[in-house]
Each structure stands twice: as structure tokens, then as C-alpha cells.
Chains A and B, each alone.
Chain A
């Protein structure tokens, strides 16, 4: 988190110094700031893991938006064709995430991918109750959820 903050600060400095307030210039400043941090990250303990974390974060965003669009198409195709192909049901999903923040983010992203919706968390915070729309193959649904969670946790930890 400190890494991202410093990177944004460096990008802002770049924008101020060059004096052109454009999105492209800001992005360019961000890239330069990232390179600078990647150069010095061994010297500053707080920035230690930032250079690996940012690519992972971007990879996660790409993966997530692909998932979002793909499963939107899946749900949409079932909505427009008259007979129902769906097989809804509530499954329990054992969490690997432990802290409240991790659980919140994991369940938020699960809710955002169409076809899955978090209904509840168990009292002891170990299980999510997920309403899945396409429950033809439960192992597949569980594996997809697990993959999403693991990718998110890799970014966070």
C-alpha cells in the first residue's frame, strides 16, 4: 500500500514538473515512478515487495474483467432464450481468507462475477454461502471460486 502511494506521488510530481495535465502524461509518470521504485526497492524495507505486487494486481484486474464479461454473456444468453438452462442453488464455500478485510474483498469479487452471489457468511467466518446460477457441475463452480480467491489473496499478502 505504501508502495502504491509513493508511486502515485512520483507520478503526480512528474505531471507537475512537465506541466501538462493529461491522462496519458499521468500514466507515463506512473510508469517512470514504477521503474524508479523498482530500482531502489532493495534499499527501502517498506517497498520490498511492491515491484512484484503491481504486475500481479494488473494481472488480477485483467483476469477479473475477462471473467466479468464472459459470465455476463453466459447469464445474458440464458435470459434471452425462453427455456431455462440454469440450475440455481446455494453452496457452501470454505474460505482461505482470514481477516475481515480479506473476506470482504473476496466476497465482493465473488458477488461481482455474474453467476455467483454471496448470500451470507457463517458465524465463525470460515464459510461463505454462495448462490450459484449454473450448478451443473459443483466441483467446477468450487474450483472457479477457489481460483478467484487465490488470485486475490496473492495480491493482498
Chain B
């Protein structure tokens, strides 16, 4: 029974990861690509780590697995935010069919933000 659940989790994770990779290759611009990769990557890693915890069934392994899951849950969105913001600010073009861009208006009105950023580094 446990083996069945482990197999199910692993296969699900592999399929999610494959979808993330296909999306990464097919999607047209940087932010949409990050939609596909970061979240699906996190979901797949969570599934695989749960499978590991089920397979070993030991307290220390479970603790380590929980550490990995919490760590990826915290860091993945932060990394995505950092890259997305840096990419946007460095002028990566959005997809031609993007319907709205509130951020552009914002930076248009606050031109100084750019200089503040480069001065602080």
C-alpha cells in the first residue's frame, strides 16, 4: 500500500516537472516562463520529498524532508521575485499580447527608483 502511494507521488512529481520544463520551453516571455517553472518546480520537489519520507519512515529523515520542503517554499518565491524584478527593470520585453502593464505606469511616474537601486548596491 505504501509502495503504491510512493509510486503515485513520484509519477505525479515527474509529470509536473516535465510540464514545467515544456512550459519553460514553449512560453513566450520571462514572467510567464517563471509562472511555469517556480511553482511547478516547488510542487514537484514537495511530492518527491514526501515520497522519500514515506519510503524511509524514520523520524530524522522526516525532519530533514520537512526542512527541505519549508526551505523551498520560502526561497522559491523570493528567488522568482528577485529575478522577475531584475529582469523587468533591465528591460526584458513582455509578450506582444500582454494586455496590461501597471508597473510601467508606476515607473514612468517614479523615475528616480532606478537610480536609488543602483546607488544602494
Contact = CB atoms under 8 A, between A and B. Distances in A.
Q: Which of B19, B28, B42, B99 has most chain A Cβ within 10 Å?
A: B99
B57 interface: yes
Contacts of A7: none
The 5 closest A-B CB pairs, nearest first, are A111-B77, A89-B100, A79-B23, A92-B102, A89-B99
Contacts of A133: 32, 35
Interface in B87-121: 88, 94-95, 97-104, 106, 110, 113
10 contacts: A69-B43, A72-B16, A76-B16, A87-B99, A88-B94, A90-B98, A108-B78, A111-B81, A112-B76, A120-B88
B22 A80 contact: yes
Interface string B15-31: 01001001100111101
Interface of B: 16, 19, 22-23, 26-29, 31-32, 34-36, 38-40, 42-43, 57, 59, 62, 73-74, 76-78, 80-81, 84-85, 88, 94-95, 97-104, 106, 110, 113
A108 B28 CA distance: 24
Contacts of B101: 89-90
